[in-house]
Amino acid sequence: MHIQDLTDSGFGTVITDVDLAELRDEEWEQIYRLWNERALLIFPAVFLDKDVQDAFARRFGNLEFPRTAISNIGKNGEIHQEPEDDVVKVIRGNEGWHHDSTYMPVQALGAVFSAEIVPDEGGLTGWADMRAAFESLDKETQDKVSSLSAYHSYYYSQGRDGYLPSEQNADGTYNAYGFHDGEACLRPLVKIHPATHKPNLIIGRHAHNIIGMGSDESEEFLDALNEFACAEERTYFHDWQEGDAVVWDNRRLMHRVTPYDMSKPRRMWHTRIAGDPSTELADNYT
């Protein structure tokens, strides 16, 4: 197993010469240690099938959901590309920086993500280091954000960007993952990582309505904080090649997809790793 850290971002490691389907104990122990230390592990050209991808993800924890396509390719091979198409709306929403499942009662631990079909241009995945972002804040701002909490909602983020589904259910919900009928999840803007014991910002496009602020003030504050947090020096963008796979720590990193020509096919596979309710449960769901 060959290991090479990314040098520009302060996080991320590339691992080659390893069989993720047949990991030796010492290889797994090293991978898990690196994941906690580096937050993003990249495995070039490993071409994971469904069973191997899900089994690898289960090494990190239970699954929030098994391998699922994130794609503009429909079941019959048609390309979803029209702006009002609900598939397109989900993909376009993912262009904004976010943590996965902060809008669910239990925030995701992480994800294994792999590439099957990639466009010639665009469609990169970027990650931003929220531990480094917190550490880069001045002491006054660190103290301020450490005292604040915000609600997280998929209704809010998709609605603000104009990407809510076209058809609403009779009860006011939508027939898509993340549009649950519970109250919006309340989360602190700063959380101590349960493994590293270091503070991380928990922000992104799903966060809104900071307790103690008006809606406009909260939106302005969070927009500025997101922009600061995702500065170039704290990000890495992966230019996918078919067969690449990654696993990332959703508690530390935010991520996004870069725009691409929606008339071109793109199919990625996402296995989401469930968070531990003892550490990742929203404050208002206790």
Mean pLDDT of each 10-residue bin along the chain, 286 residues long: 92 98 97 98 98 98 98 95 96 98 98 98 98 98 98 98 94 93 97 98 98 98 98 97 98 98 98 98 95
C-alpha 124/C-alpha 69 separation (Å) is 16
- Which CATH number does the domain housing residue 200 bear? 3.60.130.10
What was the pLDDT predicted at 7? Answer: 82
Give the range of the structural domain holding residue 21, as residue numbers without chain letter: 2-285
Q: Measuring CA to CA, how many Å separate 178 from each of 64, 181, 189, 192, 239? A: 12, 9, 20, 25, 27
Q: Measuring CA to CA, how many Å separate 242 from each of 19, 44, 246? A: 17, 9, 12
What was the pLDDT predicted at 8? Answer: 81
User: Would you tell me how many other CB atoms lie within 10 Å of the CB of residue 254?
Assistant: 29
Q: Are 235 and 127 in contact (CB under 8 A)?
A: yes
* Residue ranges in the chain assigned as alpha helix (H): 25-38, 50-58, 86-93, 130-136, 139-145, 154-160, 215-229, 277-280
Q: Are 103 and 153 in contact (CB under 8 A)?
A: yes
Cα angle 168-95-271, degrees, rounded to a multiple of 5 = 80
Q: Measuring CA to CA, how many Å separate 86 from each of 71, 89, 102, 155, 241? A: 12, 5, 21, 14, 26
C-alpha 98/C-alpha 87 separation (Å) is 18
What was the pLDDT predicted at 286? Answer: 82
Q: Are 36 and 193 in contact (CB under 8 A)?
A: no
Question: In percent, how much of the chain has pLDDT > 90?
Answer: 97
Number of domains in the chain: 1
What was the pLDDT predicted at 246? Answer: 98
Helix H or strand E segment including 183:
none
What was the pLDDT predicted at 9? Answer: 81
User: Would you tell me how many other CB atoms lie within 10 Å of the CB of residue 275?
Assistant: 25
